[in-house]
Structure formats: C-alpha cells, structure tokens
Amino acid sequence: MDMSSSVGPQYQEATKYVRGRPVPQAPGWAAAPPPYKSYEDYLEYVELPEPVRDGGRSIWELINERRSERDYTGEALSVEELSQLLWASAGLTGELEKTELRAVGSAGALYPNETYTIVQAVDGISRGVYHYDVREHALGMLADGDYSEPLAQACLGQTWMEAASAVFVWGAVVARCAWKYQNRAYRYLYLDAGHLGAQLQLAAAALALGSCNIGAFFDDEVADLIGLDGQTEVITYLTAVGRV
C-alpha cells in the first residue's frame, strides 16, 4: 500500500527537524498554559496513602518478568497498591528550580498527560471515574458508578478489561505542549504517554499485579466517558491493572 501522500507521512514530514532549517522558537514561559488541571467540583475526594519510595524488587528481574496479562481474577486492589501505581507513573519525585518533576520524564518538562483512573475494584474506594490530583497525591471523583462495560466497549470491545481492578487512562492537554512545540507536540504527547504506560507496567509487576497497555480505542468514546472534548484534550493511552 502506497501511503506516501496520506496524512501520516505528511505529518512526519511537516514536523521534522531538519539541519539547516530553523527550529521553530517557543514563545516565552508567560505563554505557557498551567501544568496542572484543576476541577472545582469533584464528587468525592480520596487522599491516597504516602507511596513507598525505597526497597522493592530488582529492576532487572521485573524487566525480565514483565508481560502483558489480560486474565484477571477481579479481586480488589488495596488503596496502597493504587497509590503506588499512580505515584510510580505520574507522581511527583523532585523539583528543579520552580518545576515539579515526576516519576516519568516529559518533553520540555511540560507534562501534558493528565491521569484518570477508572476504579472497578479497589478496597475502600467507590467505583467510578477519577482524576489524579498530582500535587496532592489524591483522586477526585468525576463520575460515580460501574463503567467497566462501557469502557471495554469503548476499547473496541476488549471485554477482558471488565475484570481489571483499575484502568488508567491518559488524556493529553494539547496546548500544554503545543505552545512550545507547535505541531511537533503531537509526537511528544504520545511519547510521554508511552513512558507512563511502560513505567506503570513495571510498577504493577513489582506489586505482582497483571497489567496490559491499550492503544486500541474509539477515541471519542473514551473521551466522553471521562468528560473530555477529545480535541483540546486527547486520549493517548490506557493501562488496565488487575490481580492474576
């Protein structure tokens, strides 16, 4: 199939950095949108326990053992496990001048991906759609109830997801990256999301939990489920986690 005139190659070509061509200059930081999203109207607010920041299993063993797993028992996660998974992927780990740095890097330290969690079975936390409040290490509820079936259907009918205990969804605020990188930002939104999913999988392996990354989804349906417009904030990636 000749794709040379279609949108993929056109995008790749249009957003290349080429030696000898000027790299588009970013406007000053004054033009930067806020690095955090804030909601005024969470239905519930769940402060998470402090994550564990030391010890644990060898990174080499975890890399060697990591596999995508889709056959979950449906048993609940503990709130400590959920806390650890969120921190190990999207949580704060340091500071450089005035920028708060996170467990996973981001192009230009702009962190365009917001983390949402669909809680399907977590002890002590009601089922529902939550937004991860990074700075407070807390979850704010956006919608109450069991979304396991519509979520799996929005992921092209991947019904194995229904037995996951939690599904992490990343939505990238395009302007947070595009003010600096313009159209090249779309590369970075997805690269950043890939790092988040990869590190979450290693964290799940460290907790002896099964996980699987998900790139096959009806974009607008997942966005709708979280309450996003799917344009200013686009769904980039998901990871399902469950007991195996």
Ligand X SMILES: Cc1cc2nc3c(=O)[nH]c(=O)nc-3n(C[C@H](O)[C@H](O)[C@H](O)COP(=O)(O)O)c2cc1C
Q: Which residues bind ligand X (CB under 6 A)?
A: 67-68, 70, 158, 212-216
CB of 148 to ligand X, least distance (A): 16
In which region does residue 230 sit, left (phi positive, over 0), alpha (psi from -120 to 50) or beta (all else)?
left
CB of 230 to ligand X, least distance (A): 18
Cβ nearer to ligand X, comparing 37 with 195: 195
Residue 134's nearest CA partner among 164, 112, 154, 155 is 112
Q: Are 201 and 213 in contact (CB under 8 A)?
A: yes
Cβ nearer to ligand X, comparing 53 with 67: 67
- Residues in a beta bridge with 138: 47, 133
CB of 156 to ligand X, least distance (A): 7
Cβ nearer to ligand X, comparing 83 with 158: 158
- Residues in a beta bridge with 242: 210
CB of 39 to ligand X, least distance (A): 28
Q: Which residue is nearest to ligand X (CB)?
A: 215
DSSP 3-state of 53: coil
Structure tokens at 34: 């806020």
Give the H/E segment covering residue 214: strand 210-214
Residue 81's nearest CA partner among 206, 188, 182 is 206
Cβ nearer to ligand X, comparing 67 with 135: 67
Total residues belonging to the chain: 244
Question: Which segments of 22-111 does DSSP mark as H helices, in order?
Answer: 59-65, 79-90
> How many angstroms separate the CA atoms of 23 and 39, rounded?
35
Cβ nearer to ligand X, comparing 117 with 158: 158
Cβ nearer to ligand X, comparing 56 with 215: 215
CB of 196 to ligand X, least distance (A): 11
Cβ nearer to ligand X, comparing 70 with 243: 70
CB of 98 to ligand X, least distance (A): 33
CB of 154 to ligand X, least distance (A): 11
> How many angstroms separate the CA atoms of 116 and 31, rounded?
26
